[in-house]
Amino acid sequence: MKNKDVSSRKLLTIAGTGWMFDAMDVGMLSFIIAALKVEWNLSAEQMGWIGSINSIGMAVGALIFGLMADRVGRKSVFIITLLLFSIGSGASAFTTTITMFLVLRFFIGMGLGGELPVASTLVSESVPVEKRGRIVVLLESFWAVGWLVAAVISYFVIPKFGWQVALLISAIPAIYTLYLRMGLPDSPRFTEAKKREKISVFQSMAKLFSKEYGRQTTMLWVVWFCVVFSYYGMFLWLPSVMVMKGFSLIKSFEYVLIMTLAQLPGYFTAAWFIEKFGRKFVLAVYLTGTAISAYFFGNADTTALLMLSGILLSFFNLGAWGGLYAYTPEQYPTIIRGTGTGMAASFGRIGGVLGPLLVGYLVAGKTSVSMIFTIFCITVLVGAAAVVFLGKETKSKVLE
């Protein structure tokens, strides 16, 4: 068991560090959007498209690389996707037009969208059943670390040295992929399953909607859409919303950094609860907490209430993300797990396209911040209801 523990920790560290770099990129994007608005004189609609094109790439990447993961293995896809988004991120530092920036954001999104579900699948299949949920949530907690690093870099680097330097710093994972090639094992469950059974891409996709797995698929697609729609709609616009509420760009970066700190305890509490009370409990409670926090954030009329609701929004939303990544791979057998996880994430990314776009057009149409965040509040409650009424508890369940 001791060797298994060491192996679990090593896998968590390797996969988690890749996850952290991904979060750095997405986290910095929210600050870069606010900086580009000033430098390139962007409209609210153009700002919305930057976030949305990233999610279009994530949707394509999650679909393609999820299918690939069930064919060529989790490890290979993990390395390819990390390399793709790293090169794209570094190259985007040299763009001078919004068009080229959007093209590169698409490819960065592809790498990011493909890596996240594949990494959670790899970890889920490689650790002991009694710790599976906790370790996958802890894997997700690296996302909060990446956001914190992004917030720190954005606060200290962007105002002084420019957004281009911040993007170059986020391209470091390209070097990290070489380390991944040397020591990362592939999923033992995937290796064993490929020896026993081989099915085509179309058979994999059809199996997701069979009588056996149709309910799980419907539930996951609804939850993923609601969570991604609200997360990217709210968090990519967070620095800009703070500016709309009357704070300076530097002050908004400072407040968002403080709110981001609340993500870590959100993950850690979810990691503890998920093995104690189950996946459905964590998702239902943390999604409901997200919805209530979103409502109060949108309606906050004092700095104290804005900060408190923003901190709680980060706490509950990121805890829910951890629960979702733990819960998703557990819905399917090994032979279609990459496909099922990838397609759920891909469908969710459609929400990631619509969320930032919707905010952009609503802001341009002079819709109030309170109304925008009420929309997100209702959306998250729909996701919580899907888990409660359609979800099956998978705590302590041995993966097929």
Please report, as a single letter, which amino acid is at residue 131: K
Task: Please give the structure tokens belonging to residue 302.
Answer: 């004092």
- More confident position, 57 or 86: 57
* Side-chain-side CA neighbours of residue 103 (13 Å): 8
CB 290 within 8 A of CB 230: yes
Over range 60-88, report the average pLDDT. 88
Question: What is the C-alpha to C-alpha distance for residues 299 and 245, in angstroms, rounded to an integer?
Answer: 11
Is residue 297 predicted with pLDDT exceeding 70?
A: yes
CB 42 within 8 A of CB 99: no
Task: Please report which confidence band the pLDDT of residue 398 belongs to, taking 50, 70 and 90 as the band edges.
Answer: low
pLDDT digits (tens, 9 = 90+) for 110-138: 998 898 888 888 888 888 888 888 888 88
Torsion 286-376-388-122 (CA) sign: negative
* pLDDT at position 5: 43
- More confident position, 137 or 249: 137
Question: What is the C-alpha to C-alpha distance for residues 80 and 94, in angstroms, rounded to an integer?
Answer: 23
* pLDDT at position 178: 64
* pLDDT at position 228: 93
- R_g of the chain computed on alpha carbons: 20
Q: Give the torsion through C-alpha atoms of 373, 377, 379, 381, to 10 deg.
A: 180
Burial call 82-114: b when 16+ CB within 10 Å, e when fewer: bbbbbbbbbbbbebeeeeebbbbbbbbbbbbbb
Q: To the nearest whole number, what is the mean pLDDT of the chain?
A: 85
Task: Please report which confidence band the pLDDT of residue 159 belongs to, taking 50, 70 and 90 as the band edges.
Answer: confident
DSSP H stretches of helix in the chain? 2-39, 44-72, 74-92, 98-126, 132-156, 158-161, 163-170, 173-183, 188-196, 201-208, 214-235, 238-244, 249-261, 263-276, 279-299, 303-327, 334-364, 369-390
Is residue 158 predicted with pLDDT exceeding 60?
A: yes
Over range 145-160, report the average pLDDT. 84
The percentage of the chain sitting over the pLDDT mark of 70, rounded to a whole number, equals 95
Helical axes 98-126 vs 132-156, angle rounded to 10°:
150
Residue 194's contacts (CB-CB under 8 Å, 6 or more residues apart) are none
* pLDDT at position 4: 47
Phi, psi of 171 (to 5 degrees): -85, 0
Is residue 288 predicted with pLDDT exceeding 70?
A: yes
Question: What is the C-alpha to C-alpha distance for residues 55 and 347, in angstroms, rounded to an integer?
Answer: 10
pLDDT digits (tens, 9 = 90+) for 7-55: 778 888 888 888 888 888 888 887 888 888 888 988 878 887 887 788 8
* pLDDT at position 233: 87
Residue for token pair 């930057």: 50
Task: Please report which confidence band the pLDDT of residue 263 belongs to, taking 50, 70 and 90 as the band edges.
Answer: confident
Domains of the chain, each with CATH number or no CATH: 2-175+200-390 (1.20.1250.20)
* pLDDT at position 294: 94
Is residue 376 predicted with pLDDT exceeding 70?
A: yes
CB 85 within 8 A of CB 104: no
Q: Give the torsion through C-alpha atoms of 258, 368, 320, 265, to 10 deg.
A: 20
Task: Please report which confidence band the pLDDT of residue 71 belongs to, taking 50, 70 and 90 as the band edges.
Answer: confident
Question: What is the C-alpha to C-alpha distance for residues 314 and 30, in angstroms, rounded to an integer?
Answer: 15
The percentage of the chain sitting over the pLDDT mark of 90, rounded to a whole number, equals 31
CB 77 within 8 A of CB 69: yes
Is residue 388 predicted with pLDDT exceeding 90?
A: yes
Question: What is the C-alpha to C-alpha distance for residues 136 and 142, in angstroms, rounded to an integer?
Answer: 10
Lowest mean pLDDT among 167-171, 214-218, 266-270: 167-171
Please report, as a single letter, which amino acid is at residue 355: G
CB 256 within 8 A of CB 158: no
End-to-end Cα, the chain, rounded Å: 21
Is residue 6 predicted with pLDDT exceeding 60?
A: no
Task: Please give the structure tokens belonging to residue 153.
Answer: 């870099």
